[in-house]
Amino acid sequence: MPLIASALAGAAIMTPVLVVMWRSFTSGKLGFTVGLNLTNYLRVFGDKDILPMLSNSVVYAAGSALLGTVLGAFLAWIVARTNTPGKALVELLPLYPILMPPIMKNIAWILLLAPRSGILNGMLQHFFGIETLVFNAFTMAGMVWVFGLACVPLGYLFLLPVFLSFDPSLEESAYIAGSKPVNTMFKITFPLAIPAFTSALVLNFLRGLRSFETPVLQGTPGNIKVFVSRVYDSMALEFNTGLATAYSVVLVVLSVITLYFYIRATRFSERYATITGKGYRVKVIDIGPWKYLTFLAVFLYFLAGIVLPFIVLIVVSMIPYFDYDTFMQFPSNAVLTNYYTVMKHPSFVTGLYNSLILSVTIAIVTVLAGIVMAFTIYRTRAAGAKVFEFIGTLPLAFPPLVLSVGLLIIFIGTPLYNSLWALGIGLFVAYFPYAFRNASGSIVNIHKELDEAAWVHGARWRHVFFKITLPILKPSVGGALFYIFIEAIRNVDVAVLLTAPGKEYGPVTLFEYFRVGQWAEAAAGGVIYLIILIVAVSVAKFAFKMKFSL
Amino acid sequence: MAILKVEGLSKFYKDVKALDNVSFEFDHGILSFLGPSGCGKTTLLRSIAGLEVPDTGSISIADKIQTSIERGILVPPYSRAIGFVFQSYALWPHMTVFSNVAFGLKLRKKSEEEIKRKVMSTLDLVGLQGREQRYPSQLSGGQQQRVALARSLALEPRLILLDEPLSNLDAKLREEMRVELKKLIKKVGISALYVTHDQDEAFTISDAVVVMDGGKILQYGTPDEIYNRPLHPFVAAFVGHAALVDGKVVRIEGDNCLVNVPDFNGADLISLAPKTVAAGDTCKVVIRTTEVKLSHDGFPKGTDNVLEGLMTSREYRGGLTDHRVQIGSKELVVTSHKLCPMIRVNGDGGKTFVSIDRSSISVIVTH
């Protein structure tokens, strides 16, 4: 039984992957195949934009990864090792920005940084008479800024435990040897954090390569093309599946190379035996008056990460239409018409409904499937465990957009095409690795003798699974359920190709609003989503006493 | 009826031979598997439980075949009607003591009343009455150990398997629990297999001991036989308080044999002869060092095996004292039960005599 369930999940994952590969070697439009050939690759590599596109992709991903990881590491160090005032608050501030869906961050920052209509340029002109357009969201710098901010929490979460669980005797022996605190910091503390930093950096780079919203919403208007936006254009605008899949394969190759380095970086950091889970009392360093500056740094990040975008979205959602002058008249011109409009708009209402239903369903299905597969691999003698391990992790190498390209190609001509099932399967495939890896990690940590004790005392596999494994996994199951729910309900990059009239997905609807210039409606819809997320988080936090870690 | 019969059991992990053609039979009582880590004892126990599948061989419990690779029989662990106490206790952390003990009974679809009665009487037996609503994390190590035992006993198995059950307890508690465990198993009247790497534990608790190394059974016998008549140099060395020296059999004199030991300045030692021995055999001479006597002034004529040496140092260990005596090229560590005031450390070249009774020596022929 667990084997069959795992095989089903495996098949759902492998099919789009194989289809993308196969399709990239064929030419012809949707539904028609004209032999195996290299036409698509010839076009991809013959594209005069291929080199700029490659460099754009790398610069964008590396730039945001570097910005976000450095900032996140800095925040982690401030929180863990300095006497910055307001510790309890400071510890949580860097995590709140995770709540805001990426698409809304993009929308908010475009409203702030757009060259002509943007709020910041308008203010510079209005208050200081600066006519030059200082800020431009549609540049590489604008893209790196917005996605870099989104990379901060990961850097923070990777580095915080390192700085917190640091064996103080390592630093103390440096002091004894005559090293001053600052020198010790640079010679001992930071070098020992390098492996975790590298892991976070590479993972953020991978996220940059795969990210969808920023390249499409900011890059495309500024004519800065990266692979993801090129895949989207060839699929959504040119309907050329062969070309889309060929670009996808290039992107996948880049991802796989990155993933390889990520795995190596993680392995290396695990070998740093000095950093353990032991509960050391970490010494907090008195940084004197600098502590106010570090507090300010954390607070500024909090402002940029969530407060500023949130205020902008709320204001824009409550003005009749967006331009600088109307924006500045707020609140005298406050209206709720945008909310009425979106709530009457069938594409938004259906999208909202679908996203709620699907994200809850997908969270449950994915987490259960992940546990079953991990259980099959680590707790039964089923054959092919290694294969499942590989398949379960595989979608990580595939940008979500590429997975949905593969699924779309499969679904055309079947009853699944333009159905909610298509969306559901897409989300399942995209989020399965997270559920699977979370479950594997937890199952491996459950002492095997707990299972064996059940076996020898009369339990069959179903008893072991339902009475032992599942109850013990409860805390991590809760976390994974919630994480996937949060990610799925705001997903754009998987859903964008799989929606259809009548089968909308909320975040995609917002994405479309924004692309056709209905910025105020997009903001109103975004605020509704944010409220739902805040309610969900609060319910989870207080009703289920759930702890959050990613 | 033998409660357990193992025949030709072998198991490989890649290139490592965990079990090498192991065969033995066991009637009833408590049987220990003793050996260093990696000797195969845990693999053997887990194979008997059905948690490991051996590569060859067969296992019968109470004359019913449970594992037979040759005949393709593999009874799953849940149908073997055995108890198993794990090294980590493996108490399910999300269940109370009561639920842990009741787990197997519920699976056997016993009535609510019967389950309650059985759980309570078993907890009573192990001395945990009144703790049934606690969670494992609220119990001490010793109490957790009893819960694990109760969980197995509640199912009334024919055979209970214990995998180093005391190794997670501190030294003092371990010694107490040994005796208690033995009493309890005897009181319930079931047979038990007991894995340990601690020879004191094995000797205290069991009726018979299997000494293992490298996946093989080196000796199977009562604790007394294992200690006093080791059949293998490894057994003698592992069982402890023994010094091993190389020797060569000079001649046989009735029940005794004379062995030449080059390390002791070529002295000839007299000992009880093993069953099959011939002059000219090479052998290991096992000297039980707790039984060696020490003197400054020599021993009366006719005392067995008097050797002359030099005491180089002495370590006081509380109840015991180790005396290091250099005899020829060999240092003999003689352990006595108290510090003898008349024994001085003669670093200045003064002599010390040792005497080894013939019954304190075992000769193991190695050819």
Chain A interface, best mutation among B86, B118, B137, B164, by max A CB count within 10 A: B86
Question: Are A167 and A188 in contact, with CB atoms under 8 Å apart?
Answer: no
* Cα(A263)–Cα(A257) distance, integer angstroms: 10
| Å between B132 CA and nearest CA of chain A | 19
* Cα(A55)–Cα(A225) distance, integer angstroms: 10
Query: Is it the case that residue A27 has pLDDT exceeding 70?
Result: no
Count how many residues are written for chain B.
367
Cβ-defined contacts of B317-326 (< 8 Å, 24+): B323/B294, B323/B352, B325/B294, B325/B352, B325/B354
Residue among A450, A460, A467 minimizing CB distance to B78:
A460
Name the A residues in 473-512 with CB < 8 Å from any B CB. 474
DSSP code at position A218:
I
**Which of A7-21, A46-60, A72-86 comes out lowest in average pLDDT?**
A7-21
* Cα(A14)–Cα(B195) distance, integer angstroms: 46
Which residues in chain B are closer than 8 Å to A453, comparing Cβ atoms?
84, 86, 90-92, 148, 151
Q: How far is CA A141 from CA A67, A110, A135, A146, A395, in A?
A: 11, 12, 9, 9, 30
Rounded (5°) CA angle A272-A274-A275: 80
Name A346's Cβ contacts closer than 8 Å, sequence gap at least 6. Answer: none
The token pair that represents B246 in the structure block = 């190389």
Q: How far is CA A521 from CA A138, A313, A509, in A?
A: 21, 10, 10
Residue ranges in A289-419 assigned as alpha helix (H): 290-302, 308-317, 324-329, 337-344, 346-379, 385-393, 400-411
Q: How far is CA B26 from CA B10, B221, B355, in A?
A: 18, 11, 39
Of B262, B274, B277, residue with least CA distance to B231: B274
* Cα(B76)–Cα(B89) distance, integer angstroms: 21
- Amino acid code (one letter) for B63: D
For the stretch A269-316, pLDDT in tens is 555 544 443 445 567 777 778 888 888 888 888 888 888 998 999 998
**Pairing relation of β-strands B282-288 and B361-365?**
antiparallel
The reply to whether residue A452 touches residue B77, judged by beta carbons under 8 angstroms, is yes
The token pair that represents A526 in the structure block = 């975004």
ipTM of the complex: 0.75
Q: Return the percentage of chain A with pLDDT > 90, whole number.
A: 14
Rounded (5°) CA angle A395-A400-A401: 135
Write down the pLDDT at residue B339: 56
The pLDDT mean for chain A works out to 82
Query: Is it the case that residue A332 has pLDDT exceeding 70?
Result: yes
* Residue B348 banded pLDDT, cuts 50, 70, 90: low
- Amino acid code (one letter) for A112: L
Residue among B78, B148, B151 minimizing CB distance to A455:
B78
* Cα(B25)–Cα(B29) distance, integer angstroms: 12
Write down the pLDDT at residue A548: 47
Q: How far apart are the first and last CA of chain A?
A: 31
Task: Count chain A–chain B contacts defined by CB atoms under 8 A.
Answer: 70
* Cα(B42)–Cα(B193) distance, integer angstroms: 11
| Å between B195 CA and nearest CA of chain A | 16
The token pair that represents B312 in the structure block = 């180089």
The token pair that represents A473 in the structure block = 């996994």
The reply to whether residue B103 touches residue A456, judged by beta carbons under 8 angstroms, is no
Q: Return the percentage of chain B with pLDDT > 90, whole number.
A: 51
* Cα(A215)–Cα(A225) distance, integer angstroms: 7
* Residue B163 banded pLDDT, cuts 50, 70, 90: very high
Other CB atoms within 10 A of residue B131 CB: 17
Query: Is it the case that residue A360 has pLDDT exceeding 60?
Result: yes
Query: Is it the case that residue A252 has pLDDT exceeding 60?
Result: yes
Write down the pLDDT at residue A279: 44
Write down the pLDDT at residue A546: 55
* Residue B214 banded pLDDT, cuts 50, 70, 90: very high
For the stretch B272-306, pLDDT in tens is 888 888 888 899 999 998 888 888 888 888 888 99
* Cα(A335)–Cα(A543) distance, integer angstroms: 34
Q: How far apart are the first and last CA of chain B?
A: 38
The reply to whether residue B107 touches residue A456, judged by beta carbons under 8 angstroms, is no
Asked if the peptide bond before residue A331 counts as cis, ω within 30 degrees of 0, the response is: yes
* Nearest C-alpha in B relative to A449: B90
Other CB atoms within 10 A of residue A410 CB: 19
Tell me the mean pLDDT in the region A435-445: 83
Of B85, B335, B26, residue with least CA distance to B209: B26
Query: Is it the case that residue A146 has pLDDT exceeding 90?
Result: yes
Write down the pLDDT at residue B98: 94
* Cα(A345)–Cα(A491) distance, integer angstroms: 20
Query: Is it the case that residue B35 has pLDDT exceeding 90?
Result: yes
Write down the pLDDT at residue B100: 92
DSSP A12-40: HHHHHHHHHHHHTTEESSTT--EEE-SHH
Q: How far is CA A445 from CA A256, A450, A548, in A?
A: 27, 11, 19
Write down the pLDDT at residue A274: 42
Residue among B51, B76, B151 minimizing CB distance to A457:
B151
Question: Are B22 and B215 in contact, with CB atoms under 8 Å apart?
Answer: yes
Name the A residues in 433-472 with CB < 8 Å from any B CB. 447, 449-450, 452-460, 463, 467-468, 471-472
* Residue A34 banded pLDDT, cuts 50, 70, 90: low
- Which of A185 and B207 is assigned the larger pLDDT? B207
Sign of CA dihedral B120, B126, B132, B135: negative
Which residues in chain B are closer than 8 Å to A446, comparing Cβ atoms?
none
* Cα(A391)–Cα(A7) distance, integer angstroms: 10
Query: Is it the case that residue A509 has pLDDT exceeding 80?
Result: yes
* Cα(A174)–Cα(B349) distance, integer angstroms: 50
Question: Are B149 and B188 in contact, with CB atoms under 8 Å apart?
Answer: no
Whose structure tokens read 């869906």? A101
Count how many residues are written for chain A.
550
* Cα(B278)–Cα(B366) distance, integer angstroms: 11
